Amino acid sequence: MSWWGKVVGGAFGFALGGPIGAMLGAVLGHQFDKGLMLTLANQGGATGSEQERIQTLFFTSVFSVMGHVAKIDGRVSEDEIEMARSIMQQMHLDEQQTQLAIELFHRGKHPDFPLDEVLQQFRRECSRRRNLLQMFIEILLHAAYADGVLHSQEKRLLGHICQQLGFSPAEYYVLENRVRAQRSFHDNGAQQQHYQHSPARPRPDRLQEAYAVLGVEPSANDSDVKRAYRRLMNQHHPDKLVAKGMPEEMMRLATKKTQEIKAAYEAICAARGIK
């Protein structure tokens, strides 16, 4: 049975425990025995598939924390709501999954949302899955940039989230720059395709964004560019992320990200004449 089948079926033999399990249980209307939850939390939790456990943790954490990030600047904008819906649509969630994601998003908006406790449990459970933690942060960054601007409150909160998940300020800076460049590169690429119907060398500003997507300077040699490209493709490979515990429904998000990384690399290759 998949992680989702166990959730809707109430099969919590692998009950999560901790704040994430309590939140998911409250949303679903299940009543957990506090003694059982404490025992599961102390034991590290799973009595069933670890894969299903991590998938449930990821789904629950990403949508609840996304709601918390959206609310931090005082109000949830229509752009942020639309971004959350867009992510749900890209995942092709069914009606029940969408409703759960919406409920979790709203839970994250509550003033008493236990952010640090949720992040600590998520980090503890995924400690050997750093690429998964990174994908989690990137999804939150894309959601925060939904209105085109990363507000100061959002930036401080995302920096705090990164710290709680074991990422340094320098690593957060790299992730933020990469997501901003990806969004700009994608938007400019769509505009360029709208006005032309044949491949062309990218404009200088879009080429600069392509380098930022790969996280390298324009002065980098060809070998460094290829190495950065391969590393990012490996980090975002959909099958590898799912194997580490990302819900299969989110595979499409990872696939889209690898497509954007590949497009940036191809733009650089075209500008450099690399075959």
- Which pLDDT score is estimated for 108? 93
Q: Which helix H or strand E contains 95, and what residues bound it?
A: helix 95-109
Last residue of a domain, one of 116, 138, 167: 167
CA distance 159 to 171: 10
Residue 203 is classified by DSSP as: P
Between CA 20 and CA 113 the distance in angstroms is 11
Pair (20, 155) in one structural domain: yes
Q: Give pTM, 2 decimals.
A: 0.80
205, burial (CB in 10 Å: exposed 0-12, middle 13-18, buried 19+): exposed
Is residue 127 domain-shared with residue 249, that is, in the same domain? Answer: no
pLDDT digit string (tens) for 66-99? 999 988 877 777 777 887 888 888 777 888 888 8
- Whether 82 and 12 map to the same domain: the answer is yes
Domain tally, the chain: 2
Q: Tell me: do 215 and 240 sit in the same domain.
A: yes
Residues 202 and 158 in one domain: no
Please say whether the beta carbons of 126 and 57 come within 8 A. yes
Extract the tokens encoding 196: 């032309």
Tell me, yes or no, whether 173 lies in a domain: no
Question: Does residue 80 belong to any structural domain of this protein?
Answer: yes
Kindly state whether residue 256 falls inside one of the protein's structural domains. Answer: yes
Parent domain of 230: 179-275
Domain membership flag for residue 172: no
Stated length of the chain: 275
pLDDT at 175: 93
Residue 120 located in a structural domain: yes
Average pLDDT of the chain, as a whole number? 81
Could you tell me if residue 221 is inside a domain?
yes
Helix 152-164 vs helix 130-144: crossing angle, to nearest 10: 170
Could you tell me the pLDDT band of residue 214, with boundaries at 50, 70 and 90? very high
pLDDT reported for residue 10: 52
Residues 142 and 185 grouped into a single domain? no
Same domain assignment for residues 28 and 143: yes
**In terms of domains, do 154 and 252 share one?**
no
Shared-domain flag, residues 190 and 84: no
Pick from 167, 199, 232: which residue ends a domain? 167
CB 34 within 8 A of CB 17: no
Name the 3-class secondary structure at 15: coil
If you average pLDDT over residues 7-28, what whole number do you get? 69
Residue 90: inside a domain, yes or no? Answer: yes
Is position 59 within any domain? yes
Domain end (from 110, 139, 167) = 167
In the chain, pLDDT over 70 holds for what percent of residues?
A: 80
Within this chain, do residues 189 and 258 fall inside the same structural domain, yes or no? yes
Looking at residue 243, what is its pLDDT? 86
Residues 22 and 140 reside in one and the same domain: yes
